[in-house]
A and B are shown apart, each in its own frame.
Chain A
Amino acid sequence: QVRLQESGPGLVKPSGTLSLTCAVSGGSISSNNWWSWVRQPPGKGLEWIGEIYHSGSTNYNPSLKSRVTISVDKSRNQFSLNLSSVTAADTAVYYCAKVDTTMDLFDYWGQGTLVTVSS
């Protein structure tokens, strides 16, 4: 069973860069799957941020594309999210998730990590 675990700072200063890592266990990040980031502001709905394939191919949400970089580290079986020039509007629970190849939907999720943007 695949397990995902987010890690990173819980507090980021405005105009700074939010950096998170998702460690994958119970499966290989080099499998035929896309790996994704989704966020959820407190009390609000879900927003897809972007995703990456082990080859390094990416897809990003146009609403965030200018500020987002998703990368993969196959040697550590993990992938990462960088979001630059953050504001209070980027305060959210950030989830990493695996995209099932057949269903093309998120079937495994991390537990989520709250990132607060504040000085």
Chain B
Amino acid sequence: AIQMTQSPSSLSASVGDRVTITCRASQGIRNDLGWYQQKPGKAPKLLIYAASSLQSGVPSRFSGSRSGTDFTLTISSLQPEDFATYYCLQDYNYPRTFGQGTKVEIK
């Protein structure tokens, strides 16, 4: 199975900060990666698909990029509603595998 190594596991940031979260795939997965946001007690919400495409209705402060097997989710200016846990998910092959998650907390 492809392993998705996500970092950091948690971070503290302030409103307005630029935040970067990374996922590294254990092998090449092309652009077959999505990013999800999960708030406590809620189902995950899709933010980014195909590594860098913004899902409909998602604010433009969220963006994704890829460099080889490294994938990055960037929040350009953190808003109060962005405090949550973020997960990457590879859909290159089976089994689908998630990163371990990054919890973004208020500083």
Chain A bound to chain B: yes
Residues of A within 8 A of B (CB): 45-48, 59-63, 95, 97, 100, 103-107, 109-112
Q: Is the CB of B34 within 8 A of A45?
A: no
Given A47-B98, A103-B50, 8 more A-B residue pairs with CB atoms under 8 Å apart are A45-B99, A46-B87, A48-B96, A48-B97, A100-B49, A103-B34, A106-B36, A111-B43
Q: Which residues of B contact A60 (CB under 8 A)?
A: 95
Q: Is the CB of B87 within 8 A of A45?
A: yes
12 pairs from A and B in contact (CB 8 Å cutoff): A45-B99, A46-B44, A46-B101, A59-B94, A60-B95, A63-B95, A95-B44, A97-B43, A103-B49, A106-B44, A111-B43, A112-B43
Specify which of B1, B38, B95, B98 lies most central, judged by the most chain A CB atoms within 10 Å of its CB.
Answer: B95
A103 to B46, CA, bound (A): 11
Q: Which residues of B contact A111 (CB under 8 A)?
A: 42-43
- Name the prevailing secondary structure of the B interface residues: loop
Residues of B within 8 A of A (CB): 1, 32, 34, 36, 38, 42-44, 46, 49-50, 55, 87, 89, 91, 94-101
Q: Is the CB of A104 within 8 A of B32?
A: yes
- Closest B residue to A48 by beta carbon equals B96
Query: Nearest Cβ in chain B — how far from A84, in angstroms?
Result: 19
Q: Which residues of A contact B49 (CB under 8 A)?
A: 100, 103, 105
Q: Is the CB of A110 within 8 A of B43?
A: yes
Which 9 interchain pairs have the tightest Cβ spacing? Answer: A109-B43, A48-B96, A103-B49, A105-B34, A61-B95, A104-B91, A46-B98, A45-B101, A45-B100
